Every structure is written in structure tokens, then in C-alpha cells.
Structure 1
Amino acid sequence: MHGTQIPFIKMALQSHRGVIVLNPNDNFVDLKTEKERLGSSTREEALTSTQSIWWIPKRGSSSPEEHTMYNVAFIAHGYGGLAFVDLLVQRKWEVMNKVYSVAFIDSMHNTQHQAGSDPQIQEWIQTYCREWVSNSKPLDKAVGSLMKMDCPTVSAGTERYGLAPSCCLHAIFKYLKSTLKAKTTTSFRYSPVATRSSTSKKRDNK
């Protein structure tokens, strides 16, 4: 199961977390299958002259970037990292308010190229993201990068790209757990707590 999402899904379920699996590479549907599913109605009008007559683009998922616009991912491998940063750029405040942490694995994103000089996006990625890269160093050891200095980068514990996700699996979930705990603690600390005395004071002031 090396290189698959199955270990990540199993660990997330064991931690009693909800799971959303993205497949931004799956952007087309077989027209024959679609006809059988819909019966007499078809979506032939969605075809363009440059596409095969047997394939039509999925609504809302005609590209990896558009696919990701409809979901939020916390673990992004390879091109998934680029798609996530595109989501961040397109829906900046929505992502910043809802996403508490992101784990990149050998990500293909480039913050400077995708987000330009937006200081808020750069600061958010620096604060809430971490990347694991294929490297000869031991797992979780810091790895310097001259190409991307947008978020902390550590070793995935292997030099083999295909094995990187499974090798850093536990490290990633440990990271996500710690960032969630920090987020929850901070939110609880600064959230107003309704008490009988505070409610009474509000009534008195009306």
C-alpha cells in the first residue's frame, strides 16, 4: 500500500476524524457510462470539438485547480500542493478562516509564483503549513531549500518519491494533531464564555 492514500484514511478514521478524499486528476466522465446512468438524457452539449466523443468534463471538476475549489485538503502530495495554493489564492479569507493546518509532501506549489507578493498569504503559509520532502536526512530533520522558503521544510525520511507519503505518515498526523490542539486551545482561551452573571449584567445594561 506504499504510495496510496489508504494508510492516511485508516489513521484518520482511527483518530475519529472525518475524511475527504480528493482526486483532482479525475476530471472527465465516460459518455457511454453517463448515458447509462442518466438514461435518455445526456450531456452531449458539454462536448467541444477538441474532445473525444466518449469523454466529457465533469461539472465543477474540469481541471485539478477547479476540482480543489470545491474541497479543502489538509494533506497535499505533489501537484495537490499546487492545487491547494491555488485554492488559497482564489478563496483567500475562506481558506484562512477554515483551514487550521496543511501538510505538503513533495509539493509542486510555488507561493511566489502563484500568490505574487501577497504578504498575508506568505505569512499564512509560513505559519500554518509544513512540507515533507524526499531526502536522505532522517525523518523530520530540517531541510534547507533555496527554491522555496515559504514554509518549514523537513525530510520525509526517504529519498524515494513514491515512498515519501507512507514514510512520513505518522509524522504528519502528529503534526496535524499538535496544530489542531494549539488552535483549539487558542480559540477556547479567547472565546467569550456565557455565564449567569454576565447574562444578568447584559440585561441590567439594556
Structure 2
Amino acid sequence: MYCCCKWNLAFRAAVIVLNPNDSLIDLKTEREKLSFSTREESLTSMHSCQWIPRRCSSSPEEHTMYNVAFIAHGYGGLVFTDLLMQRKWEVMNKVLSVAFIDSMHNIQHQARNDPQIQWWIQKHCREWVSNNKPLGKAMGSLVKVNCPTVSAGTEKYSLAPSYCLRSIFKYLNRTLKAKATTAITRSPIRTRSTKSKKVGK
């Protein structure tokens, strides 16, 4: 998935370009990338075919089912919250997490009558705000329904995105790992004892 962003003073936009046709991996190219002999042996054993499906992208449909994460700066936070209000269930099911930077959204105003959205914002979002405190330092919030807020590591609004970007990607990576762990623990594990119980019945 490739992301191309265009910026100007009056309008900010981001375009995501998907490539759902790219669903196979060339074994020859993959062999060159891998350095471990065990992995190379496993690929060599598959000499009967030249292509293997990409993990989590073996078809155009699967390719577009990835979870999405947003980084919303300034007015972008208000726009994202509006999207959440307009497409509530789609956003809640597809968006993994959101990193706000000096966001202009107002949960008490935009979602004052929707406790589900308030809960989702608290659970899946974090905001970095321009402040003279060290990067990532927790900030107190007067708004009870807002998401956790931390310092961007700078007082300058224009520098906040570059200052906290690494911290944001660490946060997004943690949420991705947490989701993957939850998915594994929730999936049923078939054991020999459960199989024998079924046979005994």
C-alpha cells in the first residue's frame, strides 16, 4: 500500500493508492532477500511453483481489508471526528487507532449524545499537544470524554508533527501488536483432548 500526500496552505489532503493486483510473491526475488539458510531451504522445497500468495494480501478483497490508522493534525482531527460521526460503524470496525496532533476536534460538542463514540475515542485514540514538557509526557485533560493526551515535545505548532512522529509510530505499532495478540487469544485452539471428548460422545 502506498501513501502519497499533497499539501498546500489552503487545503490539506492525503491520497492512499492501493495495489490489489499485487497479491503474489516471486520466489526467486524472495530467496535473494532472505539470508537464513532454513528459510531458503523451505523456499527451495517449493520448486514446483514460482509464485506464492502474499501474507494478508492473497486476493484483491483481502488486500483492501487491512486495518487503517489515522494521523490527524490540527483541523484534520475535527474532520476525522466528523467522519466517525457520519460513518460510525464502518470507522469503528476498520480503524485500528488514531493519533491526533494539536487536534481541533471537540468530543463534548461533536459526540455529546453518543457514549459509544466517546468510549471508542478514549480507547483507540491518543493526542500529542504542543507543550514545553518532554516528548510523550502525560498531560492532564479537563475534558473527561477526551482521549489520553501527551506532550509533542515542542511548544511550536508547526514543528509538532516532526517532533512527535517517531513517538506516534511507536504508539501505532503497539496498538497493532495488541490487536494481533487479542486476535490470537480469541481464536479457538484445537487440542487432542477436545478431539477425544468429541469422539467419546
TM-score by length of 1: 0.60
Partners of 2:164 and 2:74 in 1: CA distance: 14
**Displacement, 1:115?**
1.3
Q: 4+ residue stretches of structure 1 with deviation over 3 A?
A: 18-24, 192-199
Letter of the aligned partner of 1:139 in structure 2?
A: L
The match for 1:170 is 166
**Displacement, 1:103?**
0.2
The match for 1:143 is 139
Structure with more strand by fraction: 2
Unaligned segments of structure 1, at least 5 residues = 1-17, 28-71
Cα contact 2:108–2:145 (8 A) shared by 1: no
- The percentage of counterpart residues that share the same residue type is 70
Structure 1 residues 101 and 83: CA distance shift in structure 2, 3 A: same
Are 2:119 and 1:126 equivalent residues in the alignment? no
TM-score by length of 2: 0.62
**Displacement, 1:140?**
0.3
Aligned residue for 2:176, secondary structure, equals helix
Structure 1 residues 125 and 19: CA distance shift in structure 2, 3 A: farther
**Displacement, 1:100?**
1.1
Cα contact 2:96–2:176 (8 A) shared by 1: yes
Structure with greater contact order relative to length (CA < 8 Å, sep ≥ 6): 1
Partners of 1:134 and 1:148 in 2: CA distance: 20
Q: CA RMSD in A?
A: 2.9
The match for 1:74 is 70
**Displacement, 1:188?**
1.6
Residues paired across the two proteins, number: 144
The match for 2:105 is 109
Letter of the aligned partner of 1:122 in structure 2?
A: Q
Letter of the aligned partner of 1:164 in structure 2?
A: A
